[in-house]
């Protein structure tokens, strides 16, 4: 909501489809938060050793979603190549994290939610990549 208002108030209106941009930013921000929380919930489980790969991929995914969200948010003097590279990296991280979280979704509700959020972010990033062309 705030992101949309901020982009509407920007002196240089987005040249690409604004809805796609807003959804991608919101998805990256949500995914960074979910992955930070999932890594932490994994760590708090009675069997963190079973979840080592999940923690690792959640930490990586949080970091890439965080930087990608910042990069896609910026509208001034954008470089399409840099945006594409960041968003492509984000898709790979979200996909790997989603697959690992899905493996634990039956036993851990936080992994089930995190997998869904990663999936939404993958989709939103792919939609942005398609709109950039």
Residues that bind a copy of itself (CB under 8 A): 2-3, 5-7, 9-12, 25, 29-30, 33-34, 36-38, 40-41, 43-46, 48-49, 52-53, 55-57, 59-64, 66-67, 69-71, 73-79, 81-82, 84-86, 88-89, 91-93, 96, 108-110, 113-114, 117
Nearer to a copy of itself, 69 or 127 (CB): 69
Q: In the bound complex, what is the minimum distance in angstroms from residue 17's beta carbon to a copy of itself?
A: 18
| Minimum CB distance to a copy of itself, residue 86 (Å) | 5
Contact at 8 Å (CB) between 37 and 44? no
Q: What is the DSSP letter of 11?
A: S
How far apart are CB 77 and a copy of itself at their closest, in Å? 4
Q: What contacts 26, CB < 8 A, 6 or more positions away?
A: 3, 124
**Cα–Cα dist 76/130, whole Å:** 21
């Amino acid at each position: 909501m705030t992101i949309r208002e901020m982009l509407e108030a920007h002196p240089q209106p987005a040249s690409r489809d604004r809805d796609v941009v807003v959804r991608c930013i919101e998805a990256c921000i949500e995914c960074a938060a979910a992955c930070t929380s999932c890594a932490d919930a994994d760590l708090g489980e009675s069997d963190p050793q079973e979840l080592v790969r999940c923690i690792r991929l959640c930490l990586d995914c949080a970091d890439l979603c965080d930087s990608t969200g910042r990069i896609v948010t910026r509208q001034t003097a954008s470089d399409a190549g840099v945006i594409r590279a960041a968003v492509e990296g984000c898709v790979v991280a979200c996909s790997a994290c989603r697959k690992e979280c899905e493996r634990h979704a039956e036993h851990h509700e936080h992994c089930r939610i995190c997998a869904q959020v990663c999936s939404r972010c993958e989709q939103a990033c792919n939609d942005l990549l398609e709109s950039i062309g």
